[in-house]
Amino acid sequence: MLFTIGHGTRPLPTFLHLLEQYSIEFLIDIRSVPYSAFNPQYRQPEFVTALRAAGFRYIYMGNSLGGRPTHPTCYNANGRLDYELVRTQPFFLEGIERIVTAYEKGINVALMCSESKPENCHRSKLVGRSLQERNIPIHHIDEEGNLRSQSELTQTPTLLLF
């Protein structure tokens, strides 16, 4: 199964418990910048150490599936990020194919970003939508630790962050 989760301000033990609860094997970090100024427990080096100690595998894919790509081709004429442009980029398509491969192999994967509410994050608006179009079900672990489907989030009005 494919899941997404945002760390938000959750204490690290709560986050790890959620991964265990949903039988996550691999955590794929899709933050463009794997760092948190406000939640130091989620800074990449310390976070990876904690994940491995708890028995989870970690993969960084923020360079292909991150919500703030560095490629200028992802921005419109006004300099604003355009998800439709991102969705056509080879780096993004390769990242999506890696996730599809994990799904086809039956690996329980969670894609992680910092935003705790999936409806406000690129996990649903960009990555989730791309997977949904490929008929790949994705389950978002929300800020309360409950599961929400991609189709449910697609029908929910979202807050624009930029």
pLDDT in tens, 37-91: 889 999 999 999 999 999 999 999 999 999 999 999 999 999 999 999 999 999 9
Is 6 inside any structural domain?
yes
Question: What pLDDT sits at residue 158?
Answer: 47
Q: Let me know if residue 162 belongs to a domain.
A: no
pLDDT at 156: 52
* DSSP secondary structure letter of residue 93: H
* Domain-located, residue 160: no
140 contacts 147 by C-beta, under 8 angstroms: yes
For residue 54, tell me if it sits in a domain: yes
Instruction: Flag whether 161 is in a domain.
Output: no
Q: Half-sphere exposure of residue 144, counting CA atoms within 13 Å on the CB side?
A: 3
Q: Is residue 81 domain-resident?
A: yes
Domain that holds residue 86: 2-154
> What is the rounded average pLDDT for all residues in the chain?
93
The residues, any chain, with a CB within 8 Å of residue 97's CB and separated by 6 or more, are none
**Which domain CATH number covers 105?**
3.40.1010.10
- Per-residue pLDDT, averaged over 138-161, amounts to 81
Q: Count of domains in the chain? A: 1
Q: Residue 130 falls within a domain, yes or no?
A: yes
Q: Is residue 116 part of a domain?
A: yes
Query: How many Å apart are CA 106 and CA 71, to the nearest integer?
Result: 32
Residue 162: pLDDT above 50? no
CA–CA dist 40, 26 (Å, integer): 21
With 90 as the cut, is the pLDDT of residue 132 above it? Answer: yes
